[in-house]
Structure 1
Amino acid sequence: MYAVEPSAVLGGPLPAKMAETPSTTSVHADISPSHSEAYLFTKAKDTIPAEVSGSSNDCLICETGPGGSICPWVCSKPYRSWPLIELVRQYEILGVRYQYEQLCQSLMESIGQDVSGMRKCGAAERSGRFAPRESFNRWLMERRSVMAAHVDPLIPSPTVRSLSAREDNVVQESPSASIAREILDDLPMKIHIGETSAETRGNILRFSRLLVSEIRANPKTAAALSPADVEPIMQWIRELQDGEETPCIPSANIGLNARPQSSEDSVQDSLPQPTKGKNHTNEDSPQTVDEKVVDVNPFQGSTKEDVYNTVRLARPVVERLYAEKVSRVVRQLQQISRDAANRVEKFCKSGTSSKETGVVNSPDASASRETFARQFKRRCVVPRGGEVQFGSVKWMSGRNTEFFEFTDDLNARFEDACAVSAPGQQNLSRKYAIKGYKLAQLWRRFALKSGTKGKSDSKSEVLCRKSLDAGCVCEGQGWRGGDWTCTCVRDLINRIRSVESIGPLFASAVFALLCRYHCICGCQNQGKGLQCAVPPNVLDVLREDLEVNCELFASPFNVYLDNYCSIFPDVDVMFGSWGSFFDPSFELVEGSFEANPPFDEVLMARMVERLLLWLRKSEESQEGSRPLSFCLSLPDWSNGPSDFMDLLKKSKYLRYADVIPEGKHSYLNGFQHFCHASDLQVPAVCGTFFAVLQNDAGTKAWPVTDTFIKRLKEAWSAYDAYDNAGVSL
């Protein structure tokens, strides 16, 4: 891994005459205009001069990034205001989430579906929700992959005025193909995979009846359908209903511009007839090259493969029937989201200055470093009790868990910040939990950014690094060989709390981090499946055999390797994140990396396109090709059309690909920072498509050998949740 250690600097705000300050790297350090006031940290365009980074005022500076592209991130907001900003953001995103549910319910009613009947047709798992499960969370993540500036780091809003252009010059938001596909796949109803195959078969047949009903209700739209789109799904439905007492397929004249058929028209009179006998397909039925019709015994049940096949064949018809209505919902959602983001930005501009909130200045950089270094050197730390109040955040300790709660009154703040209140916003969370050992790991990245010893480390930084050796984070080995270390997580937490210049800053940073990731998962933690992590022993194999030392899709909570990219760099940079994988300025030219992105079709396709672009550019470089390698852990969605899998399988850079079968491996829970130890291991709900992409130099540097493949498969299959260090804590 070719990277330089990231570092953190506590400093002051950028002075007005900063452009005149001499610097060896640049004349000045402008803040990137692509981000609004709603961001906590923003990337500076140039290196921060030493005179500025060492000043003592309201500003915080983090420097992070891969290799030679390390850049500073600057926060001019008082750190005590971070929790309030994140709660306002959560309040707004809950409102957007609630209004999305309302839009989906209106959509269901507009297409004439009986909502109460839908719950009986295999959609009972919605529990009163009408939006596709996790579709909103996927949309939030997919929108972060759009390479455009956003008003808000969480709420989708890629319409930002350019500061260097005319006022009316606005970047227009592209429509979200991801959420449109999620909604379309739920129409006319979601096919629920039942507990038994017979139940699954019944749900498929109910879907078929609803689809046929929609085709009959929209003769003009149906008449425009191509026979190549209609015939496969009709033939498939006929095979499914073979032996049913009440066939429901409409006339085959659909899509052929013929007269509308009455509801009494018979399937056998209108569609090409199947051959006599059970489960035989019609040889004259038009099918695409890759199409496969699955035989179904009418006296048995159906499998989830039948569900996938039904959805795949029905998609062209469903898109034609509902495309305009779904597009209208998406446009309304995007407008609601932009309005919410603008309200958050307005709040950040008007109500978070240190003068208005009474926030004290940040501590001096060098003084802070020396202070907490000396504090850690003390062998005995007097416990400060079960709870400590740092400004508006109360830090409480349980047996194995730490709690952070916002204790200030929010009513007046929200009245000023938010114009509209929705019932869904009543679920606002002000208190968050995190395991003690996870908090210790966060502190280690917060203090050291997980780097190794650098050439220019100060005495205090070396001192802190010794105190935070990995062996003393959660193993409780006590004092060793005359050295001083914390004896356990509890002692470490007491030491952090005892440093008055660092404890409040760390508490605010952790609360902001917990609140932000809670927002993207929903008030009921719906999005935990989108953050599942690759097991540690698999990453160990990748690190040992292919020298992988960076996760391209991780978070401060689930990162395992030394370096990582994450979805929220404006808050994650405090914990060592390199930034977003989809940042236009982020580019990898050398090294070995791992990618386990959120399982969203559109996002994964964009990721693969970007990886292939970097590999292609590495070979076209005039300086010669540098070794570049990517290990990918993706869902095996080969049972349907998949853009990202097509791109991978056709790529000349594909060096290895295999599918880890469903039921033969597990992932780490997306909520591993607070879930119970028994829930840490999450069985994979589908196969994992593992692939290795490399350029020629990467293949020479890190060859995929038989030994590596054997070790990799053993690591995937042998993962045990209780092998993870620190789980007992």
Structure 2
Amino acid sequence: MPALEMEDTRANGFNSSPAHSPGRDLSSQLLEAGWRKFFSKREQRPYFFNKFTNQSLWDEPTLGSPGPSRHDPLGIATPSPSSVMSPQECAPRRRHSSLDSNSQVPTKKASLLISSSWNLTIPTNVIMYERAMSDVYPPHPMVEQSRAKSLRKLRQQYEEACMTREGIHAPLESFNRWLLERKVADRAAGLTSDPILSSDCENPVSPSMCREILNDIPVKLVKPKYVSDARRQLTKYAEGAKKIIESRNVTPESRKIVKWNVEDSFAWVRRQMNASYDDYMERLAHLKRQCQPHIKEAASAGTESICRKMYNLAKDDTRKLSEMSASIWKENGIEEVISPVLVTERKVFCYPRILGTPSPRLPTISVSSSSDAISLTYNEESLSMNMQYFYKLECLYRLNCKDDPRNEHFLARVWCLLRRYQTYFGVHKNEGAALQAALPATVFECLSRIFGVTFECFASPLNCYYKQYCSAFSDTDGYFGSRGPLLDFHPIAGSFEANPPFSEELMESMVNHFENLLENSSEALSFVVCLPEWRDPPTKALIRLESSRFKRKEFVVPALEHQYRNGFQHICSKDELHIHSSHGTLLVFLQNEKGFEKWTPNSERLSELAISFQVSKTK
């Protein structure tokens, strides 16, 4: 049965009932060799497909069939150098004939593999154990559009809850950091989970959301520019503190302490008519130290109620979106798929996250383009991106997608990808940009050249420099090369760069994850971790990094002396591509013994890395 015909039958319908599950009725030897059994709805009979060789048969295969050996691909059991396979061979073979091991990417797009913003030719040195396919619903434009509407409504409800219950605007970016923190705590998995919203957290009260709301009560404090601004901010904080403590149920002792400090501050302002900027700032810091613990105690009940409300609303939205995905599957004649269980553990070079669930037929996406941008439209909603990044996605799709040989679903999956990240970023201008900010391309090139880095731990198809990366979403990003979320990825060898979004809970979980990987690996393993140098007070992640027994070296790139790439680099103009960093960046090298021997962060290498951060060197 030709591969093209096989794809047609799967596109026209895939009966995935338990009787025809891909791993059913096959011996463990055939499963290990890459064979799976499927059912052709068009021909009404089963067929067999090998995910390693792209061979398809009507009759059950035999183990004597010729084909590449898939046993011990890294030569662990047999020391012969010829048994070590390339990363392209260890990853599932593509069905595109133009991307077989003996062919090249089409000439038209070949030049886009290397750009001033990425280099997709760098091969991986990351080794992991082969892992099962991901059991989540594949992306669909209808579901993504509904998810976007749900998130917009949630953001609005969050703003209204903060305003009506606490009298403040929702803290900037706090909703985005809430999404990050909740997914770290979420225990939901499989078809009942949602890629953005959490639905099964042990504690419905988010520490991140509570912390950020309480920090803005009674008023949001910002660094003032002038003496008059500093005086006004001190007065507003004192008035807000007095109002909070008088209107809430607090102990008499707390009310007494806050009122005394407020009156003392008012008296000081009346006496010090010629006070300097620094005097006002010191007085404000003193007042906050005295009053804030009592204000937090008074406002904690209302803040926790906001967190519970948001969590319960997210659970309801998750259920509705899951039901919508299930109904789309049912309309396309697809039933729940049980992915085959891995019968052996084999070391392989890392490969993209693969969905074990078949995709329904996707709707048509209309396209319009100009000289430097392209617009994709579905159901009267248009999403745009720079033309160069659209071609980048096409290259990544051709390199990694294995279920769409004729690119029939490419435009729909790009639309879903753009809709997902715009939903994740937020609705206000520049909201979420910091969550996707990336290091300059010169730094990635330097890390690859002198420290063997080939993998980004926090990236997306839109901002990745290497073609190997982890990202937030397995379903939309796996078609473009993502290895899935970092906390679900367990490499045993390789060199990595990690620049996480600025969420304290996520950064702390990242450090725990890295230490566990380094503890359990006997292969060369190295992580170059980039964190903001927040020391007033220092974050838990920063403390954990600097005290880790795997820390080999650290150095700081000073504030305003380096740049980051814009988190919206796929839609911004060239003039907005780089943003000066307002805080220092701390780089920490976490390495096991073999990783330290192989990629030692000596003074010469660190000097070269520091030069790559210089603004004048940034491309």
Give the TM-score normalised by structure 2. 0.72
Alignment of 1:683 onto 2:619: no
Structure 2 residue 417 is the aligned partner of structure 1 residue 524: no
Q: Partner of 1:534 in structure 2?
A: 439
Cα distance, 1:234–1:575 mapped onto 2, change above 3 Å: farther
Report the CA distance shift for 1:314/1:577 in structure 2 as closer, same or farther (over 3 A).
farther
Question: What is aligned with 1:393?
Answer: 365
* 47-56 vs 637-646, which moves further: 47-56
| Whole-angstrom distance in 2 between the partners of 1:137 and 1:560 | 24
Following superposition, the deviation at residue 198 of structure 1 comes to 4.2
Paired position in structure 2 for 1:587? 490
- Indicate yes or no: 2:422 matched with 1:434: no
What is the Cα deviation at residue 99 of structure 1? 1.2
Is 1:534–1:668's contact at 8 Å kept on the other side of the alignment?
A: yes
Residue 174 of structure 2 corresponds to residue 135 of structure 1? yes
**Does residue 639 in structure 1 map to residue 536 in structure 2?**
yes
Task: Count the aligned residue pairs.
Answer: 499
Residue 718 in 1 paired to residue 615 in 2? yes
C-alpha change, 1:391 and 1:606, in structure 2 (3 Å) is closer
Could you tell me which of 201, 214, 222 is aligned with 1:184? Answer: 214
Q: Aligned pair in 2 of structure 1 residues 627, 715: CA closer, same or farther (>3 Å)?
A: same
What is the RMSD of the two structures over their aligned residues, measured on CA atoms? 3.8
3-state SS of 1:662 partner: coil
Displacement of 1:566 after TM fit? Answer: 0.3
1:674-693, Cα deviation, whole Å (9 max, x unpaired): 11111111111222122111
Q: Which runs of 5+ in 2 are unaligned?
A: 1-5, 37-47, 58-90, 94-123, 335-361
What is the CA–CA distance in structure 1 between the aligned matches of 2:282 and 2:231, rounded to whole Å?
Answer: 11
The AA in structure 1 aligned to 2:296 is: E
Tell me: CA distance 1:63–1:213, structure 2 relative to 1, closer, same or farther (3 Å). farther
Q: Secondary structure in 1 aligned to 2:469? A: strand
Mapped partners of 1:519, 1:190: distance in 2: 26
> 1:532 offset after TM fit, Å?
0.4
CA distance in 1, matches of 2:289, 2:541: 17
* Closer/same/farther in 2, CA of residues 602 and 319 from structure 1, 3 Å limit: farther
- CA 1:216/1:684 → structure 2, altered by over 3 Å: closer, same or farther? same
Aligned to 2:461, what secondary structure does the other structure show? Answer: coil
Of 206, 215, 218, 2:245 maps to: 215
**1:667·1:682 contact (CA, 8 Å) conserved in 2?**
yes
The SS at the match of 1:589 is strand
Paired residue secondary structure (1:244): helix
Check the 8 A contact 1:93/1:519 in 2, yes or no. yes
1:577-616 pair list within 5 angstroms: 577-583=482-488, 586-616=489-519
AA partner of residue 605 (structure 1): E
1:225-267 CA distances to partner (integer Å, 9 max, x unpaired)?
9x9xx79x998x89977851079xxxxxxxxxxxxxxxxxxxx
* 673-682 or 67-76, larger mean C-alpha shift: 67-76
Matches within 5 A, 1:166-245: 172-196=202-226, 198-218=228-248, 220-221=250-251, 223=253, 243-245=268-270
Asked if the contact 2:198/2:318 (under 8 Å) is kept, the reply is yes
2:398 aligned partner? 447
State the shift of 1:331 in Å.
0.3
User: Would the aligned equivalents of 1:532 and 1:667 in 2 still touch at CA under 8 Å?
Assistant: yes
| Residues 690-721 of structure 1: per-residue CA shift (max 9 Å, x gap) | 21112222211111111122112211123566
Task: Report the 3-state secondary structure (helix = DSSP H, G, I; strand = E; otherwise coil) of the residue aligned with 2:384.
Answer: strand
The equivalent of 1:17 in structure 2 is 20
Q: Which of 101, 105, 110 does residue 159 from structure 2 map onto?
A: 101
> Is this contact kept in 1: 2:204–2:311, CA < 8 A?
no
Per the TM alignment, residue 52 of structure 1 is displaced from its structure 2 partner at its CA by 12
Q: How does 1:403-422 map to 2 (within 5 A)?
A: 403-407=375-379
Change (3 A) 1:25 1:524: farther
| 1:273-352 equivalences in 2 (<5 Å) | 298-301=275-278, 315-352=292-329
Deviations 1:388-416 (A, max 9, x none): xx9431111111111111136xxxxxxxx
Contact in 2 for aligned 1:153/1:570 (Cα 8 Å)? no
Q: Residues 647 and 402 from structure 1, CA distance in 2 versus in 1: closer, same or farther, beyond 3 angstroms? A: same
Question: Structure 1 residues 218, 51: closer, same or farther in 2, change over 3 A?
Answer: closer
Q: Give the conservation status (yes or no) of the 8 Å contact 1:197–1:302.
A: no
**Contact residue 193 and residue 304 of structure 1 kept, 8 A:** no
Secondary structure of the equivalent of 1:191?
coil
Q: State the Cα distance separating 1:593 from its structure 2 match.
A: 0.8
Looking at structure 2, the residues matched to 332 and 630 of structure 1 have their Cα atoms a distance apart, in angstroms, of 38
Q: Which of the numbers 166, 184, 188 marks the counterpart of 1:145?
A: 184
1:630–1:693 CA contact under 8 A, matched in 2: yes
Matches within 5 A, 1:56-67: 67=127
Give distance in 2, aligned partners of 1:304 and 1:688. 26
Contact 1:628–1:698 (8 Å) recurs in 2: yes
**SS of 1:95's equivalent?**
helix
Go from structure 1 to structure 2 and tell me whether the alpha carbon gap of 1:28 and 1:311 turns closer, same or farther (over 3 Å shift). farther
CA positional deviation for 1:173: 5.0
Where does residue 70 of structure 2 map in the other structure?
none
Distance, in Å, in 2 between the alignment partners of 1:51 and 1:652 is 41
Task: Report whether the alignment pairs 1:564 with 2:469.
Answer: yes
The residue that corresponds to 1:617 in the other structure is: 520
Letter in 2 for 1:393: I
Question: How far apart, in 2, do the equivalents of 1:157 and 1:330 lie?
Answer: 13
Deviation at 1:224, TM superposition (A): 6.2
Shift of 1:181: 0.9
TM-score by length of 1: 0.61
